[in-house]
Chain A
Amino acid sequence: MWNQTIMKHPTALAFFLAPLLFAGVAFGHGGEEEAEAPPATIYPMTQIGLPEASMGHDHGTTSGDVVGHTRDEVAALIRDSQNEENFRSTVRLVFLSFCIIGLLFVFYPRRRPSVAVTGGEGSAQTLPPTNAAP
């Protein structure tokens, strides 16, 4: 029965197997690296809304009244958390993909064959369009 189901919905399945294969290739290329360090400059335009946000500094050069962490310090502080979040995001996406594939098997709209009417009437009748939902 599963073979028949797959044979009936090759197009729909292709829409979802492709991202999963892509994910496998993407992960085959390895994990995280640190983002490249930008020029040692402070960007005032991003320092908005949160006065508690202290200014970052690089190579011992500070600006503003409050001294914050360096880029490397922040990177070290958030590395574990970010790796964990990346892993969790991937798990969610894989789970979502499988759930959507399951929905495809359950709800994919199929075209039912026409039913011919026998006896006095000569014309074929088509079943009324139906959806799975009420």
Chain B
Amino acid sequence: MLSTLHKLKFELQQIGVVLGGLILLLFFLLIITGTLLSFFYNPEPTETYRSMTAIVDNPFTSFIRNLHFWSTDLFLFTLFLHMTRVALTKPSGRLRRYAWWIGVGLFIMVSTEMLLGTFLRGDHESLEAYSHFFLGVTGVVGGYFPFISVITDFFSGHVALFRFYIFHAIVIPFGILSLVVLHGLFAPTFRALLAPWKKATDAAIHGESAAEGLTPRPGLLALPSVRKLGMLFSGAIVAIVVLSLTLPAPFLTEPTAGIELTKPPWWLLWVYALENVWGLTPLAIAPPLLFGIYAIIPLLTKDRQGADLGVYLYLTTIAVLIALSFWAAASKPVAHTEHFVAEQAAHAH
């Protein structure tokens, strides 16, 4: 029994170290499904809801949309697990610190990508999300940094949705892929994966014979980590397909301005919980604070045995995020933007 548990622990450790690879494969799946959806999506604001309705009504495009939605969910879920695994294995040492910091940059880009994806849906929740974010940035941040209006003006008006679409479909995915390359080059797991290929290319450069040098040993598919990754990705695909067939992605009624009734997606509930207490202000402060906490974790991590301050800080942060999310999920909806606008109007008078 004990040896079985030890074997299970060893297998789980091997799976844990390839979660980053799973995230990358899920990202490729998102690019494929997103590209397919883009053929049917219309970012012209007067036509967006109609095009989304057409996508949802057609079984094939609806399935693609569900695949895109659940891939995104699994992507983010795996991302949290990957960050936790890396934090527990301590991002100490120069190379792993750089990998962590690039990872924080990737996390910021992924968060932005998901937020823009929410705006693109064109239904009532999308308008609430956009209004919420716009008011939070202009109303809260704009009070201290007036130049922020340059950005908010760029993303408002009739062309806002189209510009979000360009960022979501092209700019941010390009940025993510660029950073992933850097991230992988600093990450020990990926470098270990490349080691046989590096030997082969070094041999070729030094002019060793073809039989000895050019074929990497062992082959890519023979590596245990690649096999684990293949199994994990296959399981993820099965899960995504089953979820897509049984649980459709949400799509609400046509947008009606001036009303806030919905809650954000699960990965933003923690901000919603803070807004329940402090109004719109946490929208501008909480995410940068979270990114800052993640950024300092490697500085509190030492290359020695046992947990240290970096590990405890990460665990505390993630526990607080989950607790806040549970609280927001259980609480009744609050019209934060409406209260904010009412307060602004009262102050003006």
Task: Please give the residue numbers on chain A whose beta carbons come within 8 Å of chain B beta carbons, in ascending order.
Answer: 1, 11-12, 15-16, 18-19, 22-23, 26-27, 29, 31-36, 38-39, 41-43, 45-56, 68-69, 71, 74-75, 77-78, 81-82, 84-86, 88-90, 92-93, 95-97, 99-100, 102-112, 127, 129-134
B160-A49 in contact (CB<8A): yes
Selected from A12, A43, A132, the residue in CB contact (under 8 A) with B13 is A132
Residues of B within 8 A of A12 (CB): 307, 315
Q: When A78-B262, A111-B306, A112-B305 are in contact, do A43 and B338 touch as well, CB less than 8 Å?
A: yes
A23-B326 in contact (CB<8A): yes
Closest CB in chain A relative to B54 CB, distance in Å: 15
Closest CB in chain A relative to B229 CB, distance in Å: 14
Determine the main DSSP class of B at the interface with A: helix
A53-B256 in contact (CB<8A): yes
Selected from B134, B156, B304, B329, the residue in CB contact (under 8 A) with A86 is B329
Residues of B within 8 A of A54 (CB): 254-257
Offer 30 A-B interface pairs, CB within 8 angstroms, sorted by A. A15-B318, A19-B326, A31-B330, A36-B335, A41-B345, A47-B258, A48-B157, A49-B127, A50-B48, A50-B255, A52-B45, A52-B49, A53-B127, A54-B255, A54-B256, A68-B256, A74-B259, A78-B252, A82-B333, A88-B266, A90-B326, A93-B322, A100-B84, A107-B13, A107-B88, A109-B88, A109-B305, A129-B303, A133-B89, A134-B192
A22-B339 in contact (CB<8A): no
User: What 0/1 pattern do residues 330 to 349 of B give for CB contact below 8 A with A?
Assistant: 11111101110110110000
Complex Cα distance, B323 from A37, in Å, reads 28
User: What 0/1 pattern do residues 253 to 280 of B give for CB contact below 8 A with A?
Assistant: 1111111111101100100000000000
Q: In the complex, how many residues of chain B place their beta carbon closer than 8 angstroms to a beta carbon of chain A?
A: 87
A71-B81 in contact (CB<8A): no
B131-A90 in contact (CB<8A): no
Complex Cα distance, B88 from A31, in Å, reads 35
Q: Which 7 A-B pairs have the closest CB atoms?
A: A111-B306, A89-B266, A26-B330, A46-B131, A49-B160, A47-B257, A23-B326
Residues of B within 8 A of A130 (CB): 305
A134-B258 in contact (CB<8A): no
Residues of B within 8 A of A75 (CB): 261
Q: Chain A residue with minimal CB distance to B159? A: A49
Selected from B90, B192, B330, the residue in CB contact (under 8 A) with A131 is B90
B265-A103 in contact (CB<8A): no
Selected from A23, A34, A42, A77, the residue in CB contact (under 8 A) with B332 is A34
B156-A22 in contact (CB<8A): no
Closest CB in chain A relative to B222 CB, distance in Å: 16
Known: A29-B330, A92-B266. 9 other contacts (CB 8 A): A12-B315, A35-B333, A49-B156, A50-B257, A81-B252, A89-B263, A93-B326, A100-B80, A132-B88
Q: Chain B residue with minimal CB distance to A86? A: B329
Residue among A46, A81, A105 facing the most chain B CB atoms (10 A cut-off): A46
A35-B260 in contact (CB<8A): yes
Residues of A within 8 A of B303 (CB): 129
Q: When A49-B156, A50-B48 are in contact, do A106 and B13 touch as well, CB less than 8 Å?
A: yes
Q: Chain A residue with minimal CB distance to B247? A: A88
